Amino acid sequence: MCTVSFLPSGSGFALAMNRDEKKTRVEGEQPRQRRVGLSLALHPAEPGGGTWIGINHGGVALALINWHARPLNENADVSRGIVVPHLLSGENLARMVRLFASLPLARINPFRLIAVSLSEQAVKEWRWDGNCLNSSQKAWRRLHWFSSGLEEVRVAAARARTASRTPTGTISQLRRLHCSHQPERGAFSICMHRDDAETVSYTEILADQAGAYMRYASGALCKQKAGAPFFLSFRRPFA
């Protein structure tokens, strides 16, 4: 249950994510720099080290959402949280494609993975349905993705309507979208609130030629502001 937004800029991009979870879920840890293989990455984490969003010093950002429209994998015994840290060890999209081969996908539930590469000016989406892994290239333009454990198709349609009616040409407008309660505060709003689940965090990545700033709120933006930014320097400037 999540909303992910991508917004390109003149020299980089913004990637924002509302993470929606059960209220009983253990709170995530604040972002920090972590070593992933031979790369350095910046991301928040679950207590076990898994994550749902991050960026590495090659300028590639990843965000993972559950794919509830596909049935759960009866053989799944590995958390989807391992996917993003594993792939962040690749410095470009081609390397990440090769790294998929070493993931135990047959033991992981369905997911959709969004990748944004600054140096390649590319947006890519991988979809794992429990049996097959497919990928598609997206345009370098404003984009949104939606996931929900409750009526995913209807929720995605409602949130897409909200996004289409809300100006999101700047990062401040993007933040307002991620705390939106349209059409009403509840399961269908981007800032999600249900009796059993809600938006539990907001993560924002602002990347340019020098590096990435990540801001994080350990709760919905309607309740608290994102904290001071964490910074990750890129390995080299990107033309």
Residue 10: predicted pLDDT? 86
- Distance in angstroms (rounded) separating the CA atoms of residues 126 and 132: 10
Q: Which of 201, 218, 185, 229 is nearest to 18 (CA)?
A: 201
Instruction: Find tokens 């399961």 and name the residue.
Output: 187
**DSSP code string of 133-166:** EEEEEE-SS-EEEEE-SSSHHHHHHHHHHHHHHS
Question: Which tokens is 219 given?
Answer: 């709760």
- Distance in angstroms (rounded) separating the CA atoms of residues 89 and 72: 27
- Distance in angstroms (rounded) separating the CA atoms of residues 84 and 82: 6
Burial label for 189, CB within 10 Å (0-12, 13-18, 19+), is buried
φ/ψ of residue 11, rounded to 5: -120, 5
Do the Cβ atoms of 37 and 19 come closer than 8 Å? no
The answer to whether the peptide bond before residue 183 is cis (omega within 30 degrees of 0) is yes
Question: Which tokens is 123 given?
Answer: 């947006």
Domains of the chain by start residue, with CATH: 2-147+199-233 (3.60.60.10)
Residue 1: predicted pLDDT? 72
Residue 236: predicted pLDDT? 66
Residue 235: predicted pLDDT? 78
- Distance in angstroms (rounded) separating the CA atoms of residues 110 and 67: 5
DSSP H helices, the chain, are 83-87, 93-99, 152-165, 171-178
> Measuring CA to CA, how many Å separate 50 from each of 24, 53, 81, 84, 188?
17, 9, 4, 8, 27
What is the full per-residue pLDDT of the chain (239 aa) written as tens digits? 799 999 999 889 999 999 999 999 999 999 999 999 888 999 999 998 999 999 999 999 999 999 999 999 888 999 999 999 999 999 999 999 999 999 999 999 999 999 999 999 999 999 999 999 999 999 999 999 999 988 899 999 999 999 999 999 999 999 999 999 999 999 999 999 999 999 999 999 999 999 999 999 999 999 999 999 999 999 765 54
